[in-house]
Chain A
Amino acid sequence: MNFEDTTQEAAFRSEVRQWISANAPKHLELELSRSSIGRIKLMNADILEVARAWQKKKFDAGWACLHWPREYGGRGASPIERVIWQQEEGVYDKLSSPFLIGEGMCGPTLMAYASEADKRRYLPKLASGEEIWCQLFSEPASGSDVAGLRTRAERDGDDWVVNGQKIWTSGGHYSAYGILITRTDPTVPKHKGLTMFLVNMKSPGVEVKPIKQANGMQEFNEVYFTDVRIPDSQRLGAVGEGWNVSLTTLMNERMSIGSRIATGFQELFDFCSRLKTENGLAIEDRATRARLADWSVKNSGLKYTSYRALSALSRGERPGPENSIGKLVAGSMMQEIAMYALDLQGANGVVSDPALAEVAAQFQTMLLSSPSNRIAGGTDEILRNIIAERVLGLPGDIRVDKDLAFNQIPIRGRR
């Protein structure tokens, strides 16, 4: 057991540190440090432009998707090196958010299922941020039950013709490509009739409509497919194998371990260390200290759990299931932290004007955004099921639709 860098790791860290120090957009450091991950607003710059510029700079110097093979745009870095990079990138890591789905989900799926020519065509531009990717899985009628999706793809010569609707597509409005899961055979049970494709988001018949979210922002989209033609050469995996392809995507996501998971703890700790109350600093208050201590041990527990997974990975083992707790813990923690931070501000906590609110309204933004962290990428309830079934070995839910042909599954409940 050793937390120190090896000589080689220390050399790598120092190289990373020097490069970041010489190249990072330092004028944005304060604004970024006050933004919650994925909810960044900059006063005088377009966030997507800034993010793309940073991504491109990293790519040109070989630091983007650094764990990927060189021929696909990475530098073949080890898992440990990747974490060192993330540690050193610090607040600028928040600029990675438009690229996370491409890097964590679409890229690995392409690596596993695309032709060599397509990998060389798509992956480097994904890594450089030049072409952003999205993931088209969820539908209005199939959220947690993603295998219940209804978007149809029907074979027509060398093409497939796609009709249907996807939803909750993060970044769909600025994505160039997406990975799309469709139903190609409705006469077999739901998991067996699915097929995966890569789709050009500019294809005729693709319509992206932003969804105005509960927090007032627009990050998600509805994506409509009307007679969209996709060449069979853009199929990922065999016909009817879409479910297994999607599991590969999700498994790769679990393998892509890092320290990226945001909890809001450090932000709250810093805030409490500065906030003056009538009885001294907030952090001197006993009730506040108890809350902080609880969140602190959760925060560090997540960090060291990811380090354990990383150790397994660097020994060539598959990381254990313990990494699946990350989002479950961080999601509700961030929501609780936001509520507590506002409570500390008293009646003034209601103010969300960045010019007037504490810490440029960081916690107000966090409060209004945080419900999504407990839903997107698997609800808290689905994550608990996964832990209970795959980690603890408890029986699966009784699935009444498991052996039914998809087109025999009831589509409406009783009102």
Chain B
Amino acid sequence: MNFEFSAEQKELQDQARKFLAEKCPPRAVRNVLEGKDSYDRDLWKALAGMGFLGVSIPEKFGGAGAGYLELCVIAEEIGRALAPVPFASTVCLAAEALLIAGSEAQKQKWLPAIASGDAIGTLALFEGSGKPSAKAIKLAASGGVLNGIKKPVPDGAIADFAIVAARAGPSGRESDIALFLVDTKAGGVEAKPVDNIDPSRSQAELIFRDCRAELLGPATDGWNILSHLMDRAAVLMAFEQIGGADRALEMARDYALDRIAFGRPIGSFQAIKHMLADMYVSATLARSNSYFGAWALSTNAGELPEAAATARVSATQAFQHCAKNNIQVHGGMGFTWEFDCHLYYRRSNALALALGSQSYWEDALIDRLRRKNAA
């Protein structure tokens, strides 16, 4: 048993951290947050140039052909820097959907473009409020033509292609759900950006009107593919979350050391120390759970469903906990636009919802534990 990243993986992480510290300072996040850009194009291209976007894409599709552990450490750094790029949508969701279920031609068309930073992809799953479920998917597919509305779609207004979950059969069973690949530039899709709690990553409404689409994977297998896809994305996004949680904790710690009140650093008061200790506890538990998720993902272990839900629930808790208490430690300054605390607060809450709510994943975790215990 060895439960750490290798020296090479740590080196890659270090490289990504340095790179992002230079190319993605808080100013870059704010440019997108304040609406000057819908995402940071230069950063996106630069990440591609470093090979980070295609790190786990096979070489024959233009990637580096490294494993998921490498992708996890990069995701952590993306999260730590709050990179305002469509990483979760394109790399964690769209690329993974292609890798799980794409045809040779579909992979050949889109994966190299993702790795090179030339294509942005997304997953169009949700149709308004509610948890992920086969029943909630109403968007209709008939003869390879889609009609309906998806909302919210992460980075939907800047995506070049979307993986769309649609209802293709009348039986009312999960097997009615099919996945389709849509080239958003080919017509039939209208994208409307929607305001969201974390404008450093965009959200959109996609309206499909007689939109031509090609199947992704077997027509009756959409829901199974989605479930597996969500598990993979849960692990990768957990790394974004633990990266963000760690940074929020560091910010709070640094401020507590600098800020003087009542004649001493506020970090010398137990009320503050204990708050920070509890943030450290959440962040550490989430990190350890995410490592287990990374192992399960990288080895495609049978434990992946349980490990993914565990990593997801834990990392969501940790990032939300650290981000909200980072504001609290900063006091009034933490609630100003000028301080960066709200950037982490926004991202923590957006990521918490990105794959369906915390209660959805809690429920999923208990189902999976029951299955394991029954076995």
Which A residues fall within an 8 A CB radius of B?
A: 1-6, 9, 80, 269-270, 273, 283, 286, 289-290, 292-294, 296-298, 300-305, 307-308, 310-312, 314-315, 322, 325, 328-329, 381, 383-385, 387-389, 391-398
Contacts and interface: CB of A to CB of B under 8 A. Distances in A.
B313 A293 contact: yes
Given A80-B1, A392-B253, A395-B268, A1 B294 contact: yes
Given A283-B370, A308-B291, A394 B276 contact: yes
Interface in B312-361: 313-314, 317, 359, 361
Nearest to A288: B366
Smallest CB-CB A-B distances: 6 pairs: A301-B285, A293-B362, A388-B273, A304-B288, A384-B277, A387-B277
A328 B281 CA distance: 9
A388 B4 contact: no
B264 to A, nearest CB: 7
Interface in B240-294: 249, 253, 256-257, 264-265, 267-268, 270, 272-274, 276-278, 280-281, 284-286, 288-289, 291-292, 294
A325 B314 CA distance: 15
Contact of B284 (A80, A305, A393): A305
A302 B253 contact: no
B366 A292 contact: yes
Nearest to A395: B268
Given A4-B1, A80-B1, A297 B298 contact: no
Contacts of B361: 293
B369 interface: yes
A2 B288 contact: no
Contacts of B257: 393-395
Contacts of B359: 286, 290
6 contacts: A289-B366, A304-B3, A307-B288, A310-B1, A315-B4, A394-B272
B295 interface: yes
A322 B283 CA distance: 10
Contact of B314 (A286, A301, A308): A301
Given A301-B284, A394-B268, 8 more contacts: A1-B295, A2-B2, A269-B373, A270-B373, A297-B285, A308-B291, A384-B273, A388-B277
Contacts, number: 161
Contact of B288 (A9, A286, A301, A312): A301
Given A296-B310, A300-B310, A328-B281, A305 B270 contact: no
Contacts of B366: 283, 289, 292-293, 296
Contact of B285 (A273, A310, A325, A381): A325
Nearest to B295: A1
B61 interface: no
A290 B2 contact: no
Which one of B1, B314, B361 has the greatest number of beta carbons of chain A within 10 Å? B1
Contact of B4 (A1, A273, A283, A383): A1
Contact of A305 (B249, B268, B288, B363): B288
A1 to B, nearest CB: 5
Contacts of A270: 373
B274 A388 contact: yes
Nearest to B359: A290
Contacts of A310: 1, 3
Nearest to B281: A325
Contacts of A297: 285, 289, 310, 313-314, 317, 365
A6 B2 CA distance: 10
A389 B274 CA distance: 10
B131 to A, nearest CB: 12
A384 B282 CA distance: 13
B191 interface: no
Contacts of A80: 1
Interface of B: 1-6, 69, 249, 253, 256-257, 264-265, 267-268, 270, 272-274, 276-278, 280-281, 284-286, 288-289, 291-292, 294-295, 298, 301, 310, 313-314, 317, 359, 361-363, 365-366, 369-370, 373
B374 to A, nearest CB: 9
Nearest to A386: B277
Q: Is the interface of A mostly helix, strand, loop or mixed?
A: helix
B12 to A, nearest CB: 14
B365 A296 contact: yes
Nearest to B252: A392
A308 B3 contact: yes
Given A290-B359, A388-B277, A5 B4 contact: no
Contacts of B2: 1-2, 311, 314
Contact of B270 (A311, A393, A397): A397
Contacts of A3: 1, 3, 292, 295, 301
A292 B268 CA distance: 35
A329 B281 contact: yes
Nearest to A317: B4
Contact of A392 (B5, B6, B280, B289): B280
B285 A5 contact: no
B267 A394 contact: yes
A293 B367 CA distance: 10
A303 B289 CA distance: 9
Given A290-B362, A300-B292, A387-B277, A325 B268 contact: no
A381 B274 contact: yes
A300 B287 CA distance: 11
Contacts of A384: 270, 273-274, 277-278
A222 to B, nearest CB: 30
B276 A392 contact: yes
B286 A293 contact: no
Contacts of B1: 2-6, 9, 80, 307, 310-311
A323 B2 CA distance: 16
Contacts of A304: 3, 288-289, 291-292
Nearest to A380: B274
B340 to A, nearest CB: 19
A1 B5 contact: yes
A49 B314 CA distance: 42
A388 B275 CA distance: 9
Given A290-B359, A293-B313, A298 B277 contact: no
Nearest to B278: A384
B116 to A, nearest CB: 29
Contacts of B301: 3
